Chains A and B, each alone.
Chain A
């Protein structure tokens, strides 16, 4: 290879590699990026069961029901206009309480229940999941009673 060509070849290889990276990223994003919904936008959008999405809203008061195995729960996420039933198996995040914000990663089951793989709760007063910061709702104050329940 002539020296003059070498720089050209190297630059070309780098260029092709980056284009390739773009394609890989685009393909993976198409399959794996998950859209964010609230119960209201979710009911309007047609969502295929099994497709990965995020669901955010407030945990409805009195809706948390614990399963017999002690580690499964169901609860209802609500925004101003709609509600969505969620099932989750696992340890809930520290500040997961009724009346507070939650973001769930997961997918719809065929029966219309949202099955969450993970839950993200409002962390503390300084940290709100970004998706929830924009949703205007009457957030319940945490008190010591609700926390130590």
Chain B
């Protein structure tokens, strides 16, 4: 009964979306009779999606095995939290989550947005409903999550053990909120072009959405990176896997958009530019969804693969993207030129930011799609980390260099000589760091050296915009910017330190034997079997010594049943200046009682994720500031009048 309720709610939500779309179409020729219905329809659509998604979650909660999706992805023995997370740990459930977030965003616009005129608001809701409609059709016609299975099986198939992790409970929803939040920017952009309202008011309405989506993407990518780092047991934190790229590309576009939308909101410049970025950002979100969901690319993360569904998403993506670009091509002529600015100015700096980010985005996109294009021509090619590192790292470093100066420039026009002391200072920090490492630590690559040098300079430069301001009267978004830029410096510092200075030892040890990695002496003390809820494992007990301190690490090699699979659970020892990472694997096959042990010392590796979280935290501070200011503004006006 619950399954049928969920399905009915989904159909009704689709009907609401259709109503909004028709209402929007009548709007194109003035106010229609349906126009007043758009807003309520958006709210009802959001509510229905909540009902539908909650139904599915309930079915997973009670493990109703007469529902095909539950039977094939869950199991009665599974721990409760993973039963619930299983709701979106599969294709159908994750698409339902996707469309629910989309609908809820629409409802939130209908409820909260008060800054733009009613016509543009209604048009935005109609565009949002149009996007939702395609994905409702996708769910209802090709990926029904509520399909029944008769007769019901007794216990269910289980969930991929790699996914039975607390990280999974939060990772996909976080990314999806980010992906789908960009749909709001897309809808705003298309609506503003249609109604001819591209200007600061529109940018101010769009900005919190972009900011919000970007915060979620940042957190999602950071969490995903950490998940891959400790769960896969390969010691890496970024694999340039297509699924990772699928989350990185929207983030790059959103980061560019976030900066340019600020220019439009405060300076009324970069109008067409901002619209274009909004379209690209959501196109990248859809491309990301397509890459992840279609299984068209080989990926360590591609768990739910089905090429036929891929073509459905591809068709949707091509339709929405080409329609949006068609609107852009026909309407952008009517968008007036923005305010002018000099090249050396804050605007100029943000243009540089946008260009570097777009170049990185293009390189990642080409590298991700090239194997597909090659395969269509009959060649089997893979593009991996060597390509991505080599092609993107120089541009990313240029972006960092531009970031040293950009935020301290004045709007409209500025002169470099006004900042010459800072420039000389940053150059000195970078040069000193770079030369010191190059001179005293042999064998470190050029990118890690430059990364460390620039991140140290940026760690100082990030705070400069606060100079000369009264801290208590500084707007929160400025603090947000400073924190986010500082977070980037922290993160890049971690990346550079990890990639330049990691030490690795791979060996086979019998209990009682020791190995060395960096300054650590690691002894394999004991190996014993352990049993978990739905797995058995061998667990190594490692004693790690550094100077006089002693620590214990317990890596495992787990054997899951239902489905049968082996995973290795790395053991991490976190110190302030890095992590000791230990993996234990199969026994040595020579039969001499040794176990394969892999150890890494990864200096400052945790800075990567702390930095990422700081970036997101900066975004959150800025978002708070925007919302606080909006709430406060009328009161201030009243006070001014009195």
A residues at B contact (CB < 8 Å): 1-4, 6-7, 10, 13-14, 17-18, 20-22, 24-25, 27-29, 31-36, 52, 54, 64, 66, 68-71, 89-92, 94-95, 105, 120, 123-127, 129-131, 142, 144, 147-148
Q: How far is the CA of A91 from the CA of B370 in the complex (A)?
A: 30
**Which residues of B from 589 to 636 have beta carbons under 8 Å from A?**
589-590, 592, 594, 596, 598
User: Does B463 lie at the interface of the complex (its beta carbon under 8 Å from any beta carbon of A)?
Assistant: no
- In the complex, the answer to whether B390 meets A21 with C-beta atoms within 8 Å is no
Known contacts: A1-B342, A35-B379. The answer to whether A25 contacts B506 by CB under 8 A is no
- Report, nearest first, the 4 A-B pairs whose CB atoms are least far apart: A70-B508, A36-B380, A94-B566, A21-B362
Q: How far is the CA of A34 from the CA of B253 in the complex (A)?
A: 28
Assuming A17-B355, A24-B363, what are 10 further A-B pairs, CB within 8 angstroms? A3-B339, A17-B358, A18-B358, A21-B360, A25-B363, A34-B381, A36-B380, A70-B594, A92-B586, A124-B564
- Distance (whole angstroms) from the CB of B383 to the closest CB of chain A: 5
- In the complex, the answer to whether B298 meets A129 with C-beta atoms within 8 Å is yes
Hey, which chain B residues are within 8 Å of A90, CB to CB? 506, 598
Q: How far is the CA of A113 from the CA of B384 in the complex (A)?
A: 22
Hey, which chain A residues are within 8 Å of B341, CB to CB? 6
- In the complex, the answer to whether A124 meets B362 with C-beta atoms within 8 Å is no
Residue of B355, B507, B563, B565 near A13 (CB, 8 A) is B355
Most A C-beta atoms less than 10 A away, residue of B564, B583, B592: B564
- Distance (whole angstroms) from the CB of B7 to the closest CB of chain A: 25
**Which residues of B from 375 to 390 have beta carbons under 8 Å from A?**
379-384, 386-387, 390
- In the complex, the answer to whether B359 meets A21 with C-beta atoms within 8 Å is yes
Residue of A32, A66, A91, A125 near B506 (CB, 8 A) is A91
- In the complex, the answer to whether B359 meets A127 with C-beta atoms within 8 Å is no
- In the complex, the answer to whether B359 meets A20 with C-beta atoms within 8 Å is yes
Nearest to B395 among chain A residues (CB) is A24
Nearest to B505 among chain A residues (CB) is A71
Q: DSSP majority for the B interface? A: mixed
Residue of A2, A29, A68, A105 near B590 (CB, 8 A) is A68
Hey, which chain B residues are within 8 Å of A52, CB to CB? 386
Hey, which chain B residues are within 8 Å of A124, CB to CB? 160, 563-565
Q: How far is the CA of A103 from the CA of B358 in the complex (A)?
A: 33
User: Does B2 lie at the interface of the complex (its beta carbon under 8 Å from any beta carbon of A)?
Assistant: no
Residue of A123, A127, A131 near B380 (CB, 8 A) is A131
Hey, which chain A residues are within 8 Å of B272, CB to CB? 7
In the assembled complex, 12 residue pairs joining A and B whose CB atoms fall closer than 8 Å, in A order, are A6-B337, A17-B355, A17-B359, A25-B367, A29-B367, A31-B390, A32-B384, A66-B588, A66-B590, A91-B586, A130-B298, A147-B566
- In the complex, the answer to whether B337 meets A71 with C-beta atoms within 8 Å is no
- In the complex, the answer to whether A24 meets B391 with C-beta atoms within 8 Å is yes
- In the complex, the answer to whether B359 meets A24 with C-beta atoms within 8 Å is yes
- In the complex, the answer to whether B391 meets A28 with C-beta atoms within 8 Å is yes
- Give the number of residue pairs across the A-B interface with Cβ within 8 Å: 147
- Distance (whole angstroms) from the CB of B409 to the closest CB of chain A: 16
- Distance (whole angstroms) from the CB of B545 to the closest CB of chain A: 22
Hey, which chain B residues are within 8 Å of A22, CB to CB? 362, 366
User: Does B303 lie at the interface of the complex (its beta carbon under 8 Å from any beta carbon of A)?
Assistant: yes
- In the complex, the answer to whether B598 meets A91 with C-beta atoms within 8 Å is yes
Nearest to B355 among chain A residues (CB) is A17
User: Does B552 lie at the interface of the complex (its beta carbon under 8 Å from any beta carbon of A)?
Assistant: no
- In the complex, the answer to whether A94 meets B379 with C-beta atoms within 8 Å is no
- In the complex, the answer to whether A89 meets B340 with C-beta atoms within 8 Å is no
Hey, which chain B residues are within 8 Å of A95, CB to CB? 565-566
Hey, which chain A residues are within 8 Å of B300, CB to CB? 120
Q: How far is the CA of A68 from the CA of B506 in the complex (A)?
A: 13
Hey, which chain B residues are within 8 Å of A126, CB to CB? 303, 305
User: Does B433 lie at the interface of the complex (its beta carbon under 8 Å from any beta carbon of A)?
Assistant: no
Hey, which chain B residues are within 8 Å of A4, CB to CB? 337
Hey, which chain B residues are within 8 Å of A31, CB to CB? 386-387, 390
Hey, which chain B residues are within 8 Å of A123, CB to CB? 565
Residue of A18, A68, A131, A142 near B298 (CB, 8 A) is A131
Residue of A25, A129, A131 near B362 (CB, 8 A) is A25
Hey, which chain A residues are within 8 Å of B565, CB to CB? 94-95, 123-124
Known contacts: A6-B337, A22-B366. The answer to whether A28 contacts B566 by CB under 8 A is no
Hey, which chain B residues are within 8 Å of A70, CB to CB? 507-508, 588, 590, 592, 594, 596
- Distance (whole angstroms) from the CB of B404 to the closest CB of chain A: 20
Hey, which chain A residues are within 8 Å of B391, CB to CB? 24-25, 27-28
Nearest to A36 among chain B residues (CB) is B380
- In the complex, the answer to whether B589 meets A66 with C-beta atoms within 8 Å is yes
Hey, which chain B residues are within 8 Å of A34, CB to CB? 381-384
Q: How far is the CA of A35 from the CA of B374 in the complex (A)?
A: 10
Hey, which chain B residues are within 8 Å of A91, CB to CB? 506, 568, 583, 585-586, 596, 598
- In the complex, the answer to whether B340 meets A3 with C-beta atoms within 8 Å is yes
- Distance (whole angstroms) from the CB of B267 to the closest CB of chain A: 13
Hey, which chain A residues are within 8 Å of B386, CB to CB? 31-32, 52
User: Does B351 lie at the interface of the complex (its beta carbon under 8 Å from any beta carbon of A)?
Assistant: yes
- Distance (whole angstroms) from the CB of A10 to the closest CB of chain B: 6
Hey, which chain A residues are within 8 Å of B390, CB to CB? 28, 31-32
Q: How far is the CA of A126 from the CA of B563 in the complex (A)?
A: 10
- In the complex, the answer to whether A105 meets B384 with C-beta atoms within 8 Å is yes
- Distance (whole angstroms) from the CB of A78 to the closest CB of chain B: 18
Hey, which chain B residues are within 8 Å of A7, CB to CB? 272, 337-338
Nearest to A53 among chain B residues (CB) is B382
- In the complex, the answer to whether B359 meets A94 with C-beta atoms within 8 Å is no
- Distance (whole angstroms) from the CB of A60 to the closest CB of chain B: 16
- In the complex, the answer to whether B586 meets A35 with C-beta atoms within 8 Å is no
- Distance (whole angstroms) from the CB of A130 to the closest CB of chain B: 4
User: Does B297 lie at the interface of the complex (its beta carbon under 8 Å from any beta carbon of A)?
Assistant: yes
Nearest to A69 among chain B residues (CB) is B508
- Distance (whole angstroms) from the CB of B354 to the closest CB of chain A: 8
User: Does B478 lie at the interface of the complex (its beta carbon under 8 Å from any beta carbon of A)?
Assistant: no
User: Does B559 lie at the interface of the complex (its beta carbon under 8 Å from any beta carbon of A)?
Assistant: yes
Hey, which chain A residues are within 8 Å of B395, CB to CB? 24
